[in-house]
Amino acid sequence: MGEKINLYETPYHWNIPYFYNYKYERPLRILEEDGLLGKDKIVLDVGCGDGRMSFLLSSKVKQVFGIDNQEAPVAMGKLLVAGAKNVELRVGDARKIDFPDGTFDLVVSFDVVEHLPEETMEKMLAEMKRVCKKGGCVAISTPNRGNIRSRIWGHRANPKHYKEYTVDEMAGSIEKTGLKIEKKYGTYLPIPIPGVEHYANVIPFKSLFKMLVDAAKNHPRLSETMFMVARKT
């Protein structure tokens, strides 16, 4: 697929320090707050990696399927999610998702599109829409190139990323598929001091950084990461 990927050596998503874990799981809490999860829902996690988010979703929905094109994290993920009987992880290509049209109530992808060439990302979005039920939702998180820290200090893209998008660019790519954007969220308001997150897990700063994660919800343009929910009409 030509993507830029993180080398998978350990199941690092399963052992993240408090602040980073709280930030990492923020999209799931937003989905729950918005009533998009439920015991009647069937969900697809595109780019599931080692299945951490799929596993967290599993206690809140009927069934979760996860696909990823990397064999190593999927193999590890199968071991780690073995206790959840309603999670199935598969190796698969996001450009050609191996499920029929309209299979899923909710299709999610967490921090994946930035690792893909733009053409591949567009094919992935089209496939996410195809396998989503009419009236269902597609939800995507990705770094925000226009966050408040980048505006002040200039943006430095992660070298493992093909492209980091602004809120408007990402919304435009999603809407190009015919999906209708319903909500644009943020998941963390970064303090405009590079590297300050080094102290995020230190008392008494933990409460401050937790507050910055919670406060970002209604400020996607300033947030470090954006989270968008679109509906298939």
pLDDT tens digit string along 40-68? 999 999 999 999 999 999 999 999 999 99
In a domain, 24, yes or no: yes
* pLDDT of 1 higher than 60: no
Per 3-state DSSP, the chain is made up of helix, strand and coil in percentages (nearest 5) of 35, 20, 40
Q: pTM for this one?
A: 0.94
* pLDDT of 5 higher than 80: no
In a domain, 179, yes or no: yes
In a domain, 6, yes or no: no
In a domain, 1, yes or no: no
* pLDDT of 4 higher than 90: no
Helices (H), 8-163: 18-24, 26-33, 52-58, 71-80, 118-131, 148-153
In a domain, 116, yes or no: yes
In a domain, 3, yes or no: no
The number of distinct structural domains making up the chain is 1
- How does pLDDT run across 173-213, given as a tens digit for each residue? 999 999 999 999 999 999 999 999 999 999 999 999 999 99
In a domain, 218, yes or no: yes
Under 8 Å CB-to-CB from 35, ≥6 apart: which residues? none
In a domain, 4, yes or no: no
Give the domain extent around 174.
12-231
Q: What are the phi and psi torsion angles at 152 (to 5°)?
A: -85, -45
Residue 122 maps to which CATH number? 3.40.50.150
* pLDDT confidence of residue 51: 96
* pLDDT confidence of residue 9: 74
Residue 10's pLDDT band (boundaries 50, 70, 90)? Answer: confident
* pLDDT confidence of residue 12: 81
